[in-house]
Amino acid sequence: MRKTTLVAAGAALVLTLTACSGNSATGTAEPAAASGQSQSDGLSSPFTDAIQLASASKQGTEKSKSAKFTMDGAAGGQTMTANGAMAFDGAATKFSMTMTAGGQTTEMRMVDKVMYIKLPAEEQKQMGTDKAWAKISADGTDPLSQALGGALSQSAEQSDPSKSLDQISKAGRIVSSDQTELNGQKVNHYKLELDIAKAIDQFTGQIPAAARAQVTDKLKGKDVKIPVELWLDKDNLPLQMTMDQGPLMQALGAPAGEAKFTMKYSDWGTQVDVAAPPAGQVVDLGELMKKAGR
């Protein structure tokens, strides 16, 4: 098996879920026709304080608890797209999604803190297994699970928009706001910036524990600001969030380049049913890699 396929899928997923905390715009936004018209549409005036903005939006997301989503972005010269549905519930967050990264399309599910990645027929043959799914457990003891499992679990929690809103509350500043239209819907549009130094623990929470101290040390004393844009509907639910993680990646020593993501939400409150694949179709990815001498 090409080890890079599954490992890259897991690593890309960490980036994707973390990107649900923000990104770079691809929506078709147009200026609203008249400033007074928004009130009749139920759209309140934009907030001027980041804490009030985060609090109002968090109330809506915590009440709705689920949504469909799409993601697109680029990091390290690799483009990523994804679509799926997610139920936000902290450590019990679950989702199903299809991701395309590095030319590979992968189906994934997360339920009960276990990530399931569907194996293409070619991968099954190369690894000598007839199992259709490989799993990575957040509490797995093999090296691969230890490297990716915890990060996947933490990133899944971070994908809850309320976590992103916590970041905005603690480290955000509203740069500007306006009322506009996004794909035909009237919205409040905010441009913000997040100050990494004000909430460094939140920004490094998805990093494996072994590397967290090193990352924190690299960021110490650096003035890193992350641009974020946020589009909220009349119920203060996020319809689109964008983040440019380039400044953060460069502060960590990564080469200059794009690290932008766009997360779009729809169908808030939708029913999300995610089940683990049948046990007979699942193999532990760490054990599979061990047998292959990886």
Give the pLDDT confidence score for residue 245 in this predicted structure. 82
Q: What distances in angstroms separate CA 194 from CA 133, 184, 200, one per listed residue?
A: 38, 28, 10
Task: Give the three-class secondary structure for 202.
Answer: helix
Lowest model confidence (mean pLDDT) among 38-42, 261-265, 290-294: 38-42
pLDDT score of 33: 36
Range of the domain at 127: 3-291
- If one counts the domains in the chain, the total is 1
* pLDDT tens digits, 153-189: 555 555 667 667 777 888 889 999 999 999 999 999 9
Comparison of pLDDT for 14 and 238, the residue scoring more: 238
Selection from 148, 257, 139, 286 nearest residue 206 by Cα: 148
- Mean pLDDT for the chain overall: 78
- pLDDT above 80: residue 88: yes
CATH number of the structural domain spanning residue 182: 2.50.20.20
| Own/partner long-range contacts of 79-86 (Cβ < 8 Å, ≥24 apart) | 80/12, 80/15, 80/16, 80/261, 82/16, 85/267, 85/270, 85/272, 85/274, 86/159, 86/272
> What pLDDT is attached to residue 161?
72
Q: Which carries the bigger pLDDT value, residue 90 or residue 3?
A: 90
How far, in Å, are 80, 82, 267 from residue 262 at the CA level?
10, 10, 17
Tokens of 74: 């680029």
Stated pTM of the model? 0.78
Tell me what the mean pLDDT of segment 203-215 comes to.
Answer: 69
